[in-house]
Every structure is written in C-alpha cells, then in structure tokens.
Structure 1
Amino acid sequence: MDRDLHGYGGNPPRARFPNDAALAVSLAVNFEEGAEWAVADGDAAAERVAEIHSVVPAGRWDQGTEQQFAYGMRAGIWRVLDALERHKRLATFYMCGRAVERSPDIARRIVQAGHEAACHGWRWRPHADYDSREAEQADLRRCVAVLREVTGQAPAGFFCRGSESPWTRELLRGENFAYTSNGLDDDLPYWADPAADRPLLVIPYAFDSNDMKFFHPNGFVRADDMVGYVRDAIEVLLEEGRRGTPKLLNIGLHLRIVGRPGRFAALARILDMLDSYGDRIWTPRRIDLARYWQEHFPPR
C-alpha cells in the first residue's frame, strides 16, 4: 500500500474556526467496557491491557481484569458525564457495539445529553485482524444497527483499535460514513483518496495527549503529568493558530482510566483550563468538525 509521508507539505489549510478560535480541541471518550476480550464471554483469552499485566493464565477466567473494565461503566462514566455537563462541553463517544448492547441506558443517556455516538467497531479489536471483507462488513453493520436502535441515530464517524484493514475505508464509504479517525499522522483533517467518487474524510486521533499513557511506563503517573502535557500542546498550537494556521488537538479519554479518582483530577483540571481560554479554543464534536471541513475545504 502507498504511504503518504508528506500530507499538506508544510502548507496546511488556513482554517477559520467559529469565533475566530485559534485552535480546535476534540474531546474523544472511548466507550469500550464490555466489548473487550473475556473468557467469560467465550473468548480464548482475556484482554491483557489493563491497570496491571494479568497473572491469570491465558484461557482461564480473569475476574480481576473484567472488574477493571466494569469500573468504567459502574463509576467512571458518571464522573465524566457530570464533568462535561458542568463545563458545558460536548464530546464524541467512540462506542463499541457490544458495549452499547450491554449498557443501552447509558449509551442512550450520552446521546440525549448532546454528545456524538461514533462507531468503535463491534468489539474492542483491531480491524486489521479481520481475515475477510465480508466478516468485517458484517460486524460493522452490526455495530451501526445497535447504535441506531439504542440511540436513534446512525453513527457518522468511525475509529477502531489498532489499525484498519486494507478494505476498511472502502467499507466505510459503502456504509455512508462521513469520516474515519484512524489517522495518527496530522494535526488537521484531510481527505483520503480525494479524487475518488466518494472521498472519505480523515479526522486524526492521537495517542500522546491520551489517558492511555497512564497505562504505559513511559507515560503519565500523576494527574498533573497529563495536565501539563495538554497545556504545553495547547500553547504550541495556539501560537501557530495566532500566526494563521489553526490546528486540531485531540484529548483521548477512557472511562475505566480517567474515571478513577486520582486520574479524574486530570480531566477536571483540563476542563478548567479549556474554560480559561474562552473563545480562543473551539471544542466541537467530531461530526461538527467534519461538517465544517466539508463546507470550507471540500475534496478537490
């Protein structure tokens, strides 16, 4: 497959965000709990990425890991929703279909609060794992169907764990998705295959300004580690925006991670920080950013 290593080539579009904001900040919350690998659900092995590396042998029931995930739905979600409501911020929730199926009332409440429900695949798995286009399409449609049934809306955006498959974007076009976020290579949206009959918008995501760094030994330890990192990113990008090239900053969140009290302090302080910048920062849902980009920078 061809790789685009150059993107905008040092000449990014000069976006003019609402209220002349110099930066767009996307709050992306991952809604995955209940869709991870679990022996209790019939999977061959349990998920290994959690607070600690599990000592339970592969193939055995791993109660501890299941409970670490369950914390996100039992406790974390309520802290996150309350904080977003108090700060009047809307987010995009990347929802796994299996998680929505198991927690429909929570998913419905999220959308009723005005947040966007986007597709995070049927299970919390890399789409690169699919052996066939047909199997991936079936699970993609399954996720769309349950989100539509539970929330009343079909998802317009997509993001999967790990990597897309070679045919994911073709499937997304066929299923009328507006954008994918499996792009870790830019600070601005861009069109994939702009000359195609149905170009697909890529709204990049990021793993650096992401609470998953609390799970990595070279990442965040205390809440202020993440707050300071996000503040530095905002200041760098605000300066670029003031010079005429506004960018996008992604803040990735997970209910079972940032929902824990010691890490929730990071989200609380980040939301306070965003408030302090006023109209200099625009915090759209990703579907709102997609609509803005389609209007102002359509594919050529």
Structure 2
Amino acid sequence: MNPPVRDFVGYGRRPPVVRWPGDARVAVSIVVNYEEGSERSFDRDGVNEGLGEVPRRVDAPYRDLATESVYEYGSRAGVHRLLRLFARYDVATTFFAAAEALERNPEVCAALRDSGHEVCAHGWRWTEEWTLDVDAQRAAIERAVRSIEATCGQRPVGWYSRWMPSVDTRRLLVEEGGFRYDSNAYNDDLPYFVQVGDAPFLVVPYSLTFNDSRHTYGQLTSASDFFDECRRGFDYLWEEGDHTPRMLSIGVHPRLIGQPSRTSALRDFIDHVLTKGGAWFARRRDIAETWWNQHPTLVRD
C-alpha cells in the first residue's frame, strides 16, 4: 500500500524561495490545539487521560477528576482568552480541532465561524490513529469532515493526527479527496510535496519545539521560557529569511497557554513579531495554497 518512505535529504543546500504576502521573511503559523472534551475519560473509555498539567495518569478504577477539570478550563475559559487576544491583534490562526470537542461547545463553534480562523481536522476524537484499522480510520476521517462542516460552517482542508498518524493516514486523506495538506510531520521548516499513489500531496510541517505542551513535561517552567523559545526561533528565522523566506509553527493548547500568565507570554511574542516586522501571521490553509500556487513542480518521487 505504498507506506511512507523516510527522506533524510529534503531540500538540502537549495531550499526553494517562496514569496509570502507582503514579502514577509517569515510566515508565522499559530496553531491552537482544541481537544477539550474529546480526550480519554474514565466514564467512556475505562481509562483516564494521561496528559494534564502534570505528566501522570490515575489508573482504573479511579476517575481522574483533576485532569478532567484541567481540560474543562481550556474550553470554558482558556480558549476564549486566546480568541480575545487574536481579535485584539487581528491575528489569523489555525485551530487543530477534534470534531467531537467542537460539538460539545457551540460557543466556540460560533466564535470560529465569526472570526475567520481556520479549522483543521484533528480527528473525530483525540485518539491515536495508529491503533485503528484502515476502515475505522476512514470512517473517522469522514465523520470528522461532516461534523466540522456542520458545527463551524467550513469544510476542513487540513489534517493533523494526535501525535502521529498511521502508515495509512495520508493515503486515506488523498482518497477522501478534499484535503489540501496535512501537518503530520516535524521534519522541516518549509512545506514540501510527497507522492501518494499517483497524486501529489502537500505536507505543512508542525513543531513540538515551539509548543506549550513542553510545560506538561517540565521542559518549560515559566511563561518567560515559552516566550524566549519562540522569540529566539522567530529572530533566527527572520535573519535566514533575508535570502530564503521561512515558516515558524507555534503550537498552543487552551488548557495550557490559556492560563493568564502563559497567555501574556503569547501576547508578548505577538508584540515582538509585529514590532520587528517582516512577518505574515498566516492560517495553514493559506500557507498551503501559497505553496501549491508557487511551487507546483516540487513533487518529490
């Protein structure tokens, strides 16, 4: 079934030159992972979700009410704090959204419909696709598309799996026919094409480096750590962008970055980018369309 082939070369010494809108040096893609309400829970799955504010899991037969409430904070308070911040700065973002999480919070769906942010499918539920058989994956993709169309009024054109896809995911996305990209890779600073069967398909890589999930693992201990990591990444890419424009992915979660102190770090980063200039705050679908339009011949074998 043509499983993915590892590529250690990429663009090498000759990365392609793209012209971002406004001749920006860096396309900054802020991604909000909206998963609250679709995570594992004891009442439905017989196991508790293991990723909360601390990296631990409460085992059955005990229900983890603490972690459940952390996720509820994200959907009740954190996500709206982020939406207010983006509106204040007129910043366009992409929501990696689990379809079920959207169904459980019509307020968020209404805000997304009104705001113009992109909704990228993050699964039907926030589940590990590599544990599902092909038919179950196909059904979950179709169900996620229908659900997001109904709740948010837009058909998702991008896909991002929880942590990693299965070896079949990309083929199933191409088979579905309506996806323009996925973000199921962490291996580059620029989009790139892959060949899936007879069709080219675009990968818009994501990042676990510039990501607030590192608070969960103790790798970032303060809001200032997150700001410094993102600022340094942007500044370095900005310097490189003098010759070859770059892309920076920033990953955040309402239950984490939505806490006031951490939101202030994201605010300071946006301030820094706007003050420095030369950046394009972009939805991933717009990055993908720019790449499709400017580099349609870069399909790799």
TM-score exceeds 0.5: yes
1:249 partnered with 2:251: no
Deviates more, 1:1-10 or 1:86-95: 1-10
Decide whether the 8 Å contact of 2:55 with 2:216 is kept in 1. Answer: no
Q: In structure 1, which of residues 109, 115, 121 is the aligned counterpart of residue 111 of structure 2?
A: 109
Aligned length: 294
- Check 1:249–1:53 CA distance in 2 against 1; reply closer, same or farther (3 A cut): closer
Decide whether the 8 Å contact of 2:158 with 2:183 is kept in 1. Answer: yes
Q: In structure 1, which of residues 34, 38, 41 is the aligned counterpart of residue 37 of structure 2?
A: 34
Q: In structure 1, which of residues 270, 284, 287 is the aligned counterpart of residue 285 of structure 2?
A: 287
Gaps of 5+ in 2: none
Following TM superposition, by how much is the alpha carbon of 1:262 offset from its aligned partner in structure 2, in angstroms? 2.1
Which residue of structure 2 aligns with residue 211 of structure 1? 212
Following TM superposition, by how much is the alpha carbon of 1:16 offset from its aligned partner in structure 2, in angstroms? 1.5
Distance 1:154 1:287 in 2: 11
Following TM superposition, by how much is the alpha carbon of 1:100 offset from its aligned partner in structure 2, in angstroms? 1.1
Describe the superposition over 1:214-253 as per-residue Cα deviations: whole angstroms up to 9, x where unpaired.
1112x211111111111111111111111x1111110001
- Check 1:178–1:294 CA distance in 2 against 1; reply closer, same or farther (3 A cut): same
Decide whether the 8 Å contact of 1:121 with 1:140 is kept in 2. Answer: yes
Following TM superposition, by how much is the alpha carbon of 1:82 offset from its aligned partner in structure 2, in angstroms? 0.4
Following TM superposition, by how much is the alpha carbon of 1:68 offset from its aligned partner in structure 2, in angstroms? 0.5
Which residue of structure 2 aligns with residue 151 of structure 1? 152
| Matching residue's letter, 1:269 | D
1:138 partnered with 2:142: no
- Check 1:167–1:51 CA distance in 2 against 1; reply closer, same or farther (3 A cut): same
- Check 1:262–1:138 CA distance in 2 against 1; reply closer, same or farther (3 A cut): same
Distance 2:29 2:61 in 1: 38
| Matching residue's letter, 1:69 | Y
Q: In structure 2, which of residues 76, 83, 102 is the aligned counterpart of residue 81 of structure 1?
A: 83
Q: In structure 2, which of residues 121, 124, 127 is the aligned counterpart of residue 125 of structure 1?
A: 127
Decide whether the 8 Å contact of 2:55 with 2:217 is kept in 1. Answer: no
Which residue of structure 2 aligns with residue 201 of structure 1? 202
- Check 1:96–1:237 CA distance in 2 against 1; reply closer, same or farther (3 A cut): same
Q: Please give the root-mean-square deviation of Cα atoms over the aligned residues, in Å.
A: 1.3
Gaps of 5+ in 1: none
Moved segments of 4+, more than 6 Å: none
Secondary structure at 1:258's aligned position in 2? coil
Following TM superposition, by how much is the alpha carbon of 1:103 offset from its aligned partner in structure 2, in angstroms? 0.9
| Matching residue's letter, 2:223 | A
Which residue of structure 1 aligns with residue 58 of structure 2? 56
Which residue of structure 2 aligns with residue 168 of structure 1? 169
Distance 1:198 1:108 in 2: 35
